[in-house]
Structures are given as C-alpha cells and as structure tokens.
Amino acid sequence: MKKLILLALVLLAIPLVSAQVAVQSFSASPEKVLPGDHVELKITLENVGNDDVRDVLVALDLSQVPFAPLRSSSEKIIDRIRDGDEETVLFELVALPDASSQIYKIPVRISYNETSKSSLISLEVSAEAKLDVIMEDSEIIKVNDQGAVTLKFINNGLTQIKFLKVTLQDSMYYEILSPKTLYIGEVDVDDFETEEFVIISKAKNPRLVLNLEYTDSNNNEFRETRDISLNVYTLEEAKHLGLVKGNFSSFWIIIVVIVIAFVLYRIFKRKKNVA
C-alpha cells in the first residue's frame, strides 16, 4: 500500500518536473518612466523542463500599482514553449499621472497545465525634481536699509522634495543678520514653503546667492546655486519714486518761514488800518 501511494506521488510530480516555466528576464523601455508616460514591458519566459508546454497564460496584477494596460489587456497567452526554449511577451503600459516616484513591484502570474505560479518584476517611476525660488516680499527699499526678505520655494515638479536646506552666502553687497542656513524639510508637489532672511543692503540691486540642498522621492541628492535679484534703490531714486518721504532742506524751511511771516504781517497791517 505504501509503495502504491509513493508511486502515485511520483506520477503526480512528473508533469511538474518535466515542464517548468519561469521568468528568465524582463526589461522596460524606457527604464525609468515619467508619470503619465508610456512604457514597453518585455517578459521572457523559459521552459526549463523536458516537455513542451502549451497555452501558457501570463498575467500582470496591476491592482496595487499606478499602471494601466494600453491598447491591450494585462494578460497574454503563449501557444507553446518548447522544452529548453524561451518566448517573450510584450505589454504596453501607461504610468498614471499621479504616480509617485519610486520602484513598484508587479506580480506576474504564470499558468499552464493546471499549474499556477507567481513571480515579481519591478518598474521604476522617476519624475524630475523641479524647485523654483522667487522673491515673495521685501522690507528693504533703499541702500543701507535693514529688513526681512521673504523667499518662496515652489515645487513645480512631479516628485516630492525632501530635506530641503537653504544657505544664504556671504556677500560684500549685503550683511546677513539672521541665521545663514534654514532647514525647510518637505515641499509637496504643487505646493510651496516660505522663509525669510534679515539683511542690510550695502548696494543698489544686490543679488542674493542661495545654496540649495535637497533630495527627491527616490533619495537622489541635488545641490544647486540660485541668484535672486533684490530691488534696492538709492535715496534719490526712492524719493523720486515716492517710496520714501523727502526731508525739507534748510533753504525750503527758511522760505516757508518767510511766507508765513509775510502773511501774518499783511493780516496784522490790514487790521491796524481798519482800526
């Protein structure tokens, strides 16, 4: 009886041993796909057994990843894979527009001869980080003014910006009174953060030199230098534009006093003649 059971188990195992299909390799073009873009996925299967295999179903499980099939389904059928041979199936996919930048694991189910097995492949979504810096506000009007300069840091890319650190470089054109380095941290996609530096402008229209350090969602590091123009006027220009009130000179003060005295004299004289 034991021999019969053992023989039955061996016979059941023979199809599994003689015909085994596995993922031999896969490739994606492009290797890194942008959100909203198309990607061509090639999966090569190999029959490592001794028998031919027919009607091999290859199915992608896209339920938990931000990809969708394009112009075809997520399933492909291979009519036959001869023993020791390879066959390649092609899937056209699109990354969803809101896909975050990271590596996604996609389960692949392979079914044949009432046998089903799963493998994992991966696709990488990689969006370019784009950080814009603009002048939000400034309390400085003219040379030698002291005040706060507010900068806006805008994430215009398709990936989150992390660990953002901003350093204002020293310059002969301005004096930094606040801390030179500010840690901002995260800036979400289509969002912004504001920070300010307190400086004294030493020249007309100085350029603020900023060192930016940050990473994207895939922990790629970025280091950039940005120049931000600051509108600063001379005292004469500020007066001409009405940005500051001009001071009366001694000459004009004397003229005003003379005019007032003359008016008072005429009034006093007129009252005396009437009397």
Q: What is the pLDDT of residues 54-98, one digit of tens each?
A: 999 999 999 999 999 998 899 999 999 998 899 999 999 999 988
Residues whose CB falls within 8 Å of the CB of residue 170, separated by 6 or more in sequence, listed in order: 176, 180
> What single-letter amino acid sits at 133?
V
Tens digits of residue pLDDT in 153-209: 999 988 889 999 999 999 999 999 999 999 999 999 889 999 999 999 999 999 999
Domain assignment present for residue 50? The answer is: yes
Tens digits of residue pLDDT in 131-156: 999 999 999 999 999 999 999 999 99
Domain count, the chain: 2
Between 123-127, 128-132, 237-241, the lowest mean confidence (pLDDT) is in 237-241
Q: φ, ψ for residue 235 (rounded to 5)? A: -60, -40
| Enclosing domain of residue 115 | 18-125
Query: What does the pLDDT average to over 95-108?
Result: 91
Domain assignment present for residue 275? The answer is: no
By DSSP bridging, strand 161-168 and strand 181-187 are antiparallel
Residues 106 and 141 in one domain: no
pLDDT at 3 over 60: no
Between 123-127, 144-148, 258-262, the lowest mean confidence (pLDDT) is in 258-262
Domain assignment present for residue 111? The answer is: yes
